[in-house]
A and B are shown apart, each in its own frame.
Chain A
Amino acid sequence: MSQISLGMPRIASYGSGNLFATESFPHAAHRDLDNAQLRANLGHATGTIREKRLKVVAELPDWEELREAGSVLKQQVMADLPRLLVQLEENVTQRGGTVHWARDAQEANEIVAGLIRAEGATEVVKVKSMATQEIGLNEYLEEQGIAAYETDLAELIVQLGHDKPSHILVPAIHKNRTEIRDIFLAEMAGVDPELTDDPRQLAMAARAHLRRKFLSTKVAISGANFAIADSGTLAVVESEGNGRMCLTLPETLITVMGIEKLLPTFLDLEVFMALLPRSSTGERMNPYTSLWTGVTEGDGPQNFHLVLLDNGRTAALADEMGRSALHCIRCSACMNVCPVYERTGGHAYGSTYPGPIGAILSPLMTGIEAEENNSLPYASSLCGACFDACPVKINIPEILVHLRGKDVDAEHAKRKLPSQMDVGMAAARVAFSSGRNLALVEKGLPLGKLMAGPDQKIKRLPGMAGGWTQSRDIPAPPKQSFRAWWKKEHVPTPDTSQTPDAAAESGEDG
């Protein structure tokens, strides 16, 4: 199979697959904001999980130290990625596994399909995995005549509903139980037609459906939460036990993993196993953690393939300001605390990766100029809740601003005529780069007061500023600025007029 020397890239190779917003964020958000059911579900679900997370995080007195350790470990991994990847490959190979390298989504899909075909299989079971969603594996396999069955309950709901996940941890967060029952009744072969929307009944129906698949399918596909370079061990962290079934029952296991998932040593898992469950589901420990190293005779899958996926990760790594986005352990804490995500849901972000991390990761992996991904870094009020929640301390707001800068530069390079925003920013630059200029602008304040009319409110503005007046008034400006008042009317108390501060008082005339 294709062996590609990875090395540290000089030329960024961008990712492909499901990493793109095909519609600009404000447009997509506009539609999803109108979905009252979605907003209610999201508000409820994110609110509950936020509370749980805060509670279990508060239990650990060394939470901040753990976050720092997680952040530093990931920095080390990124700095030493080429060596660690080769070390992982050597250890996996030595223990009977086979390692494949995929530059992008297409290569990864072809590798996986080839491996399934080599086993003579036409069906596979799947453990919930972001990497395989990112590369659009299910759709690719379907084209190749291979059926891929999702076994995570929420993923199953999404798959049966011919839908897209809207949250990386709770993919069906946008569906309520009545909607789920309707999907099961319509799509699940052999389901009891009397099925109600009782959660237990729904779970039992899914369980019966999945058991049949687990017992009959010979190939499983998974992602991985972590890979330990010095032992070749892979780890999957999950809640339902479907992952454990997939990882142990079939004859062949194919794991698709982003190259950033590495940890140097087994001991490092300690830090991440303290960080991940608390941050993601708000639990002290998740119910199932599966670890496996290569192939063990007579126990578990007898063929193990590891597909290492780049797909734009080296492009992200090449961005000095943005590379820490690769530290992400996909816990979803940032989206659960995000006031924007809470209101729009995940679909508005287009890519497999929604929420604050998606708003930086997608454009970093595809380049800021790909499709509508340049609208993603603006999908934030920069409130900073994501940075506070992130267990590996990714400074998402700072990277959002950095990517906005890249977008503005890219747009300027493309455009001949300035945009409305460009004109406004240029005018503001002039006004804000000297006290005298700002004072001149402020001389116009009484005019604004006049414009505000008798009720002293400005209710409608043209152009971009119309976005503001869509839901907010602007008060009438004052008759004079502070600067003008200070100059004309301020009388210092206590009386310091004997010792005026020449340097500060003089200078440009306000």
Chain B
Amino acid sequence: MKIALFATCIVDAMFPRTAKATVTILERLGHQVLFPATQACCGQMHINSGYFDDALPVVANHVAAFSQGDYDVAVAPSASCVASVKHQQPMIARHCGDADLENRANAVGAKTYELSQLLVDVLGITDAAAQLGSYFPHTVTYHPSCHGMRLLRLGDRQLDLLRSVGGIELRDLSGPDQCCGFGGTFAMKNADVSSAMLEDKVKSIEASGAELCVGGDASCLLHIGGGLSRKDSGTATLHFAEILASTMEAPVSVSGEVELLTGRGRS
């Protein structure tokens, strides 16, 4: 299968490891990964901040980048960005009165999958250890991000994939469905409330006793990781793609060039 990777702006710029891991997983399964070079951002930050006019060229760029090229499906390692591609991009086109863009946005949205959706629903992965060789001998706890849970209805896809990784030990997280408080510019506009939400999330992560908090959205992980780092907590954050990409022969290096998402090295 030809799979177009939508890296998402935050992963592209801040967490290239997550995109590399996505490529590794898909290539390991024998698929061809393409990277439409003109891609940038889904437009979510502009849209959720109310800047619809500024969002339009961002949306148009994404739709153009993914309307060309011969690929079967597109994938992004972020539920939030996929939800934006599917739901918000057509809305912005409609809002700005561009019916043609709306149609093309809907067509791109229909072909775009979040990584666990693609792996489970399309590629039939149910056992990461057996089918991907995934091996990760660490204790982790899992935070399901709001948009994956509520906008894409991912259910337990990411968690089930993690459970099937060799050597992994999963710890329960209390209040898993509680938002971490990120919410894009919410974290700045309503910094106090956002911080209070983060504080509780950080507490439940620490209480889980896990070495790492794993999730599927780099933005939430950046937020949670930033809170853990500020507290000098021993716990860090990691995207589930990197765990799936990790094998016995090529373990994910948790103290490499780009460190973990908290910016702290672990050995």
Interface size on A, residues (CB 8 A): 85
Contacts A387-B150, A405-B95, A503-B69: A380 and B183 contacting too (C-beta < 8 A)?
yes
CB atoms of A456 and B230 under 8 A apart: no
Question: Which of B20, B194, B225 contacts A482 (CB under 8 A)?
Answer: B20
Q: Indicate whether A380 sits within 8 Å of B186 (C-beta atoms), given known contacts A482-B20, A485-B16, A485-B20.
A: yes
CA distance A485 to B258 in the complex (A): 13
**B contact residues around A476 at 8 Å (CB):** 259, 263
How far, in Å, is B36 (CB) from chain A's closest CB? 5
Closest to B32 in A: A496
- Tell me the chain A residues, 471-510 only, with Cβ under 8 Å from chain B: 471-483, 485-487, 490, 492-494, 496, 499, 501, 503-510
Interface assignment of A210: CB less than 8 Å from any CB of chain B: no
Judge whether A114 is part of the interface by a CB distance below 8 angstroms: no
CA distance A494 to B33 in the complex (A): 10
Distance (Å) between the CB of B69 and the closest chain A CB? 4
A381: interface (CB < 8 Å): yes
| Residues in A446-468 with C-beta less than 8 Å from chain B | 452, 456-457, 459, 464-468
How far apart sit A230 and B197, CA to CA, in the bound complex (Å)? 47
Cα-based distance from A405 to B52 in the complex (angstroms): 6
B226, A472: Cβ atoms under 8 Å?
A: yes
B86 at the interface (CB under 8 A from A): no
- Contact of A404 with B by CB under 8 A: yes
**Residues of chain B within 8 A of A494, CB atoms compared:** 27, 30, 32
User: Whole-angstrom distance between the alpha carbons of A492 and B186 in the complex?
Assistant: 39
> In angstroms, how far is the closest chain B Cβ from the Cβ of A35?
12
B50 touches A30 (CB 8 A): no
CA of A488 to CA of B154, assembled, Å: 34
Partner of A464, one of B50, B61, B188, B264: B188
Of B6-14, B129-137, B162-170, the stretch lying at the interface with chain A is B6-14
**A456 proximity list for chain B (CB < 8 A):** 259, 263-265
With A381-B183, A382-B48, A432-B40 already in contact, the answer to whether A504 and B69 are too (CB < 8 A) is yes
Question: CA of A492 to CA of B34 in the docked complex: distance in angstroms?
Answer: 9
In the complex, the answer to whether A473 meets B65 with C-beta atoms within 8 Å is no
Interface mask (A405-440 → B, CB under 8 Å = 1, otherwise 0)? 111110000000000010001101101111111100
Interface of A (DSSP majority class): helix
Which stretch, A145-153, A323-331, A338-346, touches the partner chain B?
A338-346
Contacts of B179 in A (CB 8 A): 339, 381, 383, 385
* Residues 143-196 of B contacting A (Cβ, < 8 Å): 146-147, 149-151, 177-179, 181-196
User: Of all chain B residues, which has the CB nearest A400?
Assistant: B48
Q: Check if A33 is an interface residue, CB within 8 A of chain B.
A: yes
Give Cα A26 to B186, complex, Å: 10
Cα distance, A471 to B233, chains bound together (Å): 13
A33 near B263 (CB under 8 angstroms)?
no
Q: A501-B2, A510-B37 are in contact. Are A473 and B226 (CB under 8 A)?
A: yes
Please state if A408 and B50 are interface contacts (CB–CB under 8 Å). yes
User: CB-defined interface of A273-314 with B at 8 Å, one 1/0 digit per residue?
Assistant: 000000000000000000000000000000000000000000
Instruction: List B contacts of A434 (CB < 8 A).
Output: 38, 40, 61
B49 touches A473 (CB 8 A): no
How far is the CB of B59 from the nearest CB of chain A, in Å? 9
Q: Contact: B151 with A467, CB < 8 Å?
A: no
Q: Given the interface contacts A381-B186, A457-B229, A504-B4, does A29 sit within 8 Å of B11 by beta carbon?
A: no
Q: Is A241 an interface residue (CB 8 A)?
A: no
Q: How far is the CB of A273 from chain B (nearest CB, A)?
A: 27
Q: Does A221 contact B (CB under 8 A)?
A: no
Name the residue on A nearest B189 (C-beta). Answer: A378
Highest count of chain A CB atoms <10 Å: which of B60, B95, B226, B264: B226
CB of B46 within 8 Å of the partner chain: yes
Name the CB-closest residue of A to B225: A475
The residue on A at minimum CB distance from B95 is A405
Contact assessment for A433 and B58 in the assembled complex, using a CB-CB cutoff below 8 Å = yes
The docked-state distance in angstroms from the alpha carbon of A404 to that of B262 is: 31
* Contact call B196/A33, Cβ cutoff below 8 A: yes
Q: Distance in Å from the Cβ of B92 to the closest Cβ of chain A?
A: 9
A478 lies within 8 A of B258 (CB): yes
* B-chain residues with CB within 8 Å of residue A387 when the two chains form the complex: 150
Chain B residues near A344 (CB-CB < 8 A): 193
**B119 interfacial by beta-carbon distance below 8 Å:** no
B32–A442 touching, CB < 8 Å: no
Contact B65 A429 (CB under 8 A): no
Size class of the B contact interface (CB-based, 8 Å) = 35 or more
- Is residue A229 contacting chain B, with contact meaning CB distance below 8 A? no
A379 interface residue (CB < 8 Å to B): yes
Please pick, from B17, B34, B222, the residue contacting A504 in the complex, using a CB distance under 8 A. B34
Contacts of B16 in A (CB 8 A): 478, 480-482, 485
- B234 to A: closest C-beta gap in Å: 15
A96 interface residue (CB < 8 Å to B): no
B72 vs chain A, min Cβ distance (A):
11
**Residue B249 lies at the interface, judged by CB distance under 8 Å to chain A:** no
B199 at the interface (CB under 8 A from A): yes
Among A343, A471, A472, A487, residue most surrounded by chain B Cβ atoms (within 10 Å): A472
Cβ B226 vs Cβ A343 within 8 A: no
Q: How far is the CA of A490 from the CA of B71 in the complex (A)?
A: 19
Decide if B227 is an interface residue (CB 8 Å cutoff).
Answer: yes
Question: Is B229 a contact partner of A432 (Cβ separation < 8 A)?
Answer: no
- The residue that B197 contacts in the complex, of A381, A432, A501, with Cβ under 8 A, is A381
Whether A468 contacts B187 by the Cβ 8 Å rule is: yes
- Determine the chain B residues whose CB is within 8 A of the CB of A161 once the complex forms: none
Task: List A contacts of B188 (CB < 8 A).
Answer: 464-468
With beta carbons under 8 angstroms apart, the residue of B15, B60, B190 that contacts A478 is: B15
Interface residues of B in 197-216 (CB under 8 A from A): 197-199
Q: With A434-B61, A481-B12 in contact, is A379–B37 under 8 Å at CB?
A: no
Chain B positions within 8 Å of A208 at CB level? none
Nearest CB on A from B179, distance (A): 4
Residues of A within 8 A of B4 (CB): 504
A340 CA / B50 CA spacing, docked (Å): 19
Q: Are B70 and A504 in contact (CB under 8 A)?
A: yes
Q: Which residue from A405, A433, A465 sits with its C-beta under 8 Å from B61?
A: A433
Question: Which residue on chain B has the smallest CB distance to residue A410?
Answer: B50
B residues less than 8 Å from A473 (CB atoms): 226, 229-230, 262-263
Give the chain A neighbours of B61 by CB distance below 8 A. 432-435
Question: Counting CB contacts under 8 A, is A445 at the interface?
Answer: yes
| Subset of 23 A-B contacts with CB under 8 Å | A26-B190, A26-B191, A29-B193, A33-B196, A339-B178, A339-B181, A343-B193, A378-B190, A380-B183, A382-B48, A383-B183, A405-B52, A409-B52, A429-B54, A431-B41, A468-B188, A470-B191, A471-B198, A472-B187, A472-B227, A474-B222, A501-B70, A504-B34
- In the A-B complex, the 8 residue pairs with the smallest Cβ-Cβ separation, listed nearest first, are A475-B263, A381-B183, A404-B50, A472-B226, A467-B191, A504-B69, A467-B188, A383-B179
Having A26-B190, A384-B151, A401-B50, one finds 12 other A-B pairs with CB under 8 Å, namely A25-B190, A381-B146, A383-B150, A385-B179, A388-B150, A425-B54, A432-B45, A438-B12, A468-B188, A482-B7, A483-B37, A487-B37
